[in-house]
Amino acid sequence: MPFISVIIAAHNRREFLLDAVNSALNQTLPKDEYEIIVVKNFSEYDDILKNLDVKTVFSNEENQGADIVNALSYAEGEFICFLDDDIWVP
In CATH terms, 4-84 corresponds, of 3.40.50.261, 3.40.1790.10, 3.90.550.10, 3.60.10.10, to: 3.90.550.10
Output the pTM of the full model. Answer: 0.90
Q: What is the pLDDT of residues 1-58, one digit of tens each?
A: 899 999 998 887 888 899 999 999 998 999 999 999 999 989 899 999 999 999 999 9
What gap in Å lies between CA 35 and CA 24, rounded to an integer?
9
In degrees and rounded to multiples of 5, residue 10 shows phi and psi of -130, 95
